[in-house]
Amino acid sequence: MATNGDGRRELERLAERIRYHEDAYRRGEPELLDSEFDELYDQYVELADTLGVPAAERLDAAPGADHTEGFETVEHRVPMLSLEKLSPNRKDSRGAPIPLGEQLAQWYARRLKELELAPGARVPLLVEPKIDGISVSLVYEAGVLVRAVTRGDGRSGDVITRQVEESGAVPRRLDGLASGALEIRGELYWPISAFRAHNARLERAGERAIINPRNGCAGLMKRKDPEGLGEAGIRAFLYHVPWTEGVALPDTQSAILGWLRARGAPVYPEDQFARVGDAAEALAYCEAFGARRGALDFDIDGMVIKIDELRWYARLGETGHHPHWGIAYKFPPERKATRLLEVSVQVGKSGKLTPVAHLEPVELAQTTVSRASLHNFVEVERKDIRIGDLVYVEKAGEIIPQVVGVARDARPPDARPVSRPAVCPSCEAPVTDEGIFLYCLNEACPAKVCERLVHFASRAAMDVEGLGDKLVEQLARAGLVSEPHHFFALTLGQLAGLERMGDKSGQNVLDALEKAKARGLAKVLVGLSIRHLGERMAEDLAAYFGSAERLLELAGRYVAGDPEAVAALAPDKGTGAIEGLAKKTADVIFAELDSPRVRAILAGLKERGVSLDAVVERREEIAGVAGKTFVLTGTLPTLKRKDAEDRIKRAGGKTSGSVSKKTDYVVRGDEAGSKLEKAAQLGVAVIDEAELLRLLGGA
Ligand code: IVH
């Protein structure tokens, strides 16, 4: 039997793998199929649930999740939690998949037990679509909308009141509520028809189309100037009321939907949700709904099943991540068959050659798919995919489409095998085999150069606003830029002289470049497109070395085989000073860092005033706080929770979401919950904000 410590270590290992693959995905070099990635993620979520890991410490609820610079952040009065998921990937101990129906039955049986009801009892459930939008919290006082806030990290989110008001998605005033206050939660979404109409307008204006309705909706809600937002046609479905003051609510979720509708709030139409008697009926409704989801004017990624009667909620409770009164049902991914017309080869920024499938266009999850990733040539050979074949394409959620298999029996006689390229399609340099991937190692390869420059300016790296792939391509083609530091030598004349650019847009790019100079070492390292050097590793390296100078000095010694440097950084077994940096990875990263090319880029950046120092959060240990673990509960009188946590961390302390024997202090605020009881049981000291401030003051 695994101990909790083992579980935590396994969870960290899973997290590390997920971060690695997310990073690879963000670099445009995915190494896993989406279904494999989903499976990994589900394993993580399941283990985190089993261990009761609180939201703030989990990958799937990273603090500050969607915070945007320039938006005011406020704390949610009641945290916005996630939902537990039934997953098509869950397996039993022998590796056999557990059918969704069985998972749901198990979940339902656990609820009955917690409610001390007989195993065969029927507790009605409400089943609703799980819309793929952005969650929003709305506070109404005396019937008037006073605040709209994003989910954020679940504890605090960004204030988007004006954006929501302008969007016209929810009423500014609810009918028949002259007094009292309440919070209503729901989902903002972009109806597919409105999204398409908007894209058609963009296209006519010669602008780039928005890729999907969900991200498009999130982008609109973060628009600094919301005037005219109403034209986009954003809509909302509201489904939950976490608290009220002086407002009486009905006692079931389903009746609340009717109550909200009567007050003019947008809720799911009557034929899109159902109150059912038990888990089996809920499953049948989910499956039936899945068959008609293609006809809806919005994307859904599953259904939500909720205990309908609110009187049970307090008894059922919640983890730091999800309440026990609801669960999400995820549809199996939509799959279509289509013809593989051609296979082209794409060159990534690391020189990796990826086969790309060109398909006869097919409608999949509300978008037309005509291209799909084939990942690598080994995969193509393993699946024996041939040009002319009828192939199966899958798309899970918003993720890029994949070719998942071939209809062998429908193979036309003239189907042609996909041949591995012997030379790079961009520069014709010979390609090199590395594991399952093929690489173009020519540093001057035009495709590679361009991809690297685009990556340098991208959000993951230096985040230079306005410097997108089209402009980078123009600059590279004009011979103005071939390495990152060249960006910082651009002049207004050069920028403004490019097609579709002018003085104003040129100056904007220069301003954005100026701003990017202060991003710091970690971002610069990410921008170098070095293999295995993703965001997390870059942060760790920057934090450890503090400056590019020290990093390069050690990289040089490492590459030269200096035993001290090797022993410190990446010993043969396990990892050295930098967690997760194993020998094989270190060899690649340090060799590239030490290369003349990277040294020249870093020197060039420095010369042009780009900061190559780590942006360090100043940490000053305070005795009495350093090394201690704090759990915050309830609302503190003056400090925001996030600020309190930051101050504890800066003083060398740790914060955790749940009380355990390792907790040193529980800090009690207003409306503190069950954590106080737990603290009492375990004999953990409970202090208030004043006491915490005294500790932080060093007294
Ligand atoms: S109830 C404790 N109902 O799904 C959260 N959520 O994966 C209770 N969502 O954060 C949420 N449709 O943003 C609920 N009908 C629905 C939903 C729904 C979409 C979203 C919501 C939530 C996320 C959880």
**CATH number of the domain encompassing residue 547:** 1.10.150.20
Q: Which residue has the higher pLDDT, 662 or 64?
A: 662
Q: Each residue of 554-589: b (16+ CB within 10 Å) or e?
A: bbebbbeeeeebbeebbeeeeebebeebbeebbeeb
Query: Average of pLDDT values for 371-393?
Result: 91
Please check the confidence at residue 51 and state whether its pLDDT lies above 50: yes
Q: Exposure pattern of 307-333 as b/e (b: 16+ CB <10 Å)?
A: bbbbebbeeeebbbbbbbbbbbbbbeb
221 touches ligand 1 (CB under 6 Å): no
82 lines ligand 1 (CB under 6 A): yes
Q: Is the pLDDT of residue 431 over 70?
A: yes
Each residue's pLDDT tens digit, 558-575: 999 998 888 888 766 655
Poorest-confidence range of 184-188, 441-445, 602-606? 441-445
Domain assignment present for residue 386? The answer is yes
* Distance between CA atoms of residues 36 and 343, nearest Å: 23
Q: How far apart are CA 442 and CA 429, in angstroms?
A: 6
Could you tell me the maximum CA-CA distance found in the chain, to the nearest angstrom?
Answer: 83
- Comparison of pLDDT for 654 and 131, the residue scoring more: 131
Instruction: Give domain status of residue 237, yes or no.
Output: yes
pLDDT at 164: 98
Could you tell me if 393 and 477 lie in one domain?
A: no
Residue 106 covered by a domain: no
Position 55 scores a pLDDT of 62
Structural domain including 357 reads 339-441
Write out the two tokens for 410: 């429908």
Do both 601 and 573 map to the same domain?
yes
Examine the domain organization and report whether 138 and 231 are in the same domain: yes
Q: Which residue among the candidates 85, 91, 113, 130 is catalytic per the annotation?
A: 130
Contacts 24+ apart (CB under 8 A), 640-643: 640/73, 640/75, 640/156, 641/75, 641/155, 641/156, 642/63, 642/64, 642/73, 642/75, 642/155, 642/156
Last residue of a domain, one of 64, 90, 107: 64
**How many whole angstroms from 79 Cα to the centroid of ligand 1?**
13
Please determine, for residue 455, whether its predicted confidence score (pLDDT) is greater than 80. yes
Average pLDDT (330-344) is 88
- pLDDT of residue 60 exceeding 60: yes
On whether the CB atoms of residues 518 and 611 are closer than 8 A, the answer is: yes
For the stretch 276-306, pLDDT in tens is 999 999 999 999 998 888 789 998 889 999 9
User: What CATH number is associated with residue 291?
Assistant: 3.30.470.30
Does 288 fall in a domain? yes
- Give me the long-range contacts of 66-69 (CB less than 8 A, separation at least 24): 66/150, 66/151, 66/152, 66/153, 66/157, 66/158, 66/218, 67/152, 67/153, 67/157, 67/158, 68/158, 68/222
| 36-52 residues labelled b (16+ CB within 10 A) or e (exposed) | ebbbbbbbbbbbbeebe
Q: Ligand 1 centroid vs 130 CA: distance in angstroms?
A: 6
pLDDT-derived band at 134, boundaries 50, 70, 90: very high
How far are the Cα atoms of 64, 80, 492 from residue 177, in angstroms, in the given order?
34, 24, 57
Answer yes or no: do 262 and 132 share one domain. Answer: yes
Strands 300-307 and 274-276: unpaired
Q: State the pLDDT at residue 64.
A: 47
pLDDT for res 56: 59
Residue with more model confidence, 566 or 699: 566
> In the prediction, which pLDDT does 658 show?
78
Per-chain mean pLDDT for the chain: 88
**CATH code of the domain containing 658:** 3.40.50.10190
Mutate to test the pocket of ligand 1, among 135, 221, 307, 324 (most ligand atoms within 8 A of CB): 135
Q: Are 550 and 614 in contact (CB under 8 A)?
A: no
pLDDT score for 235: 98
Cβ(98) – ligand 1 distance below 6 Å: no
Q: Is 130 a catalytic residue?
A: yes
Of 317-326, 393-402, 678-687, where does mean pLDDT reach its minimum? 393-402
Q: What percent of the chain has pLDDT over 90?
A: 55
Looking at the fold, whether 311 and 368 belong to one and the same domain comes out as no
pLDDT in tens, 144-153: 999 999 998 8
Is 10 a residue whose pLDDT tops 90? no
Q: How much is the pLDDT for 63?
A: 41
The pLDDT value recorded for residue 34 is 60
What is the atom index within ligand 1 of the atom nearest the CA of 134? Answer: 13
**pLDDT value at residue 76:** 95
34 inside domain: yes
Instruction: Say yes or no: 216 and 320 in one domain.
Output: yes
Rounded distance between C-alpha atoms, residue 458 and residue 23, angstroms: 13
State how far the Cα of 125 lies from the Cα of 135, in Å rounded to an integer: 22
Ligand 1 within 6 A of CB of 566: no
* String of DSSP letters for 535-569: HHHHHHHHHHH-BHHHHHHHHHHHHTT-HHHHHHH
Residue minimizing CA distance to atom 21 of ligand 1: 135
- 581 or 361, higher pLDDT: 361
Residues ≥6 apart with Cβ < 8 Å to 561: none
Q: 388 in a domain, yes or no?
A: yes
Of the residues 330, 365, 380, which one is the last residue of a structural domain?
A: 330
Distance 83 CA to ligand 1 centre (A): 7
Rounded to whole angstroms, the Cα distance separating 250 from 270 reads 17
The answer to whether position 297 is within a domain reads yes
* Chain-centroid distance, C-alpha 508: 29
pLDDT per residue as tens digits for the range 224-269: 899 999 999 999 999 999 999 999 999 999 999 999 999 999 999 9
pLDDT in tens, 69-107: 889 999 999 999 889 888 776 777 777 778 899 999 999
Does the pLDDT value for residue 62 go beyond 60?
no
Of 36, 83, 43, the C-alpha closest to 61 is: 83
Q: Are residues 11 and 60 in the same domain?
A: yes
Q: Is the pLDDT of residue 698 over 60?
A: no
- Check residue 196 and give its pLDDT: 92
Same domain, 290 and 170: yes
Are residues 159 and 284 located together in one domain of the fold?
yes
* Judgement on whether residues 429 and 490 belong to the same structural domain of the protein: no
Tell me if 376 is assigned to some domain: yes
- What pLDDT was estimated at residue 1? 39
Instruction: Judge if the beta carbon of residue 523 lies within 6 A of ligand 1.
Output: no
Amino acid at 588: V
User: Which residues are bridge partners to 416 per DSSP?
Assistant: 387
In this structure, which residue's CA is closest to atom 19 in ligand 1?
A: 130
pLDDT bracket for residue 550 (50, 70, 90) = very high
> Is 216 in the same domain as 322?
yes
Confidence band, pLDDT 50/70/90 cuts, at residue 436: confident
Question: What is the best residue among 127, 155, 239 to mutate for testing ligand 1's pocket, by most ligand atoms within 8 Å of CB?
Answer: 239
Same domain for 526 and 593, yes or no, is yes
- pLDDT for res 41: 80
Q: Of the residues 516, 543, 577, which one is the last residue of a structural domain?
A: 516
CA-based Rg of the chain, rounded to a whole angstrom?
27
CA of 154 to the centre of ligand 1 (A): 12
Q: Could you give the number of structural domains in the chain?
A: 6
Say yes or no to pLDDT of 368 above 50.
yes
* Average pLDDT for 28-57: 70
Residues 6+ apart with CB under 8 A from 273: 126, 127, 128, 129, 254, 257
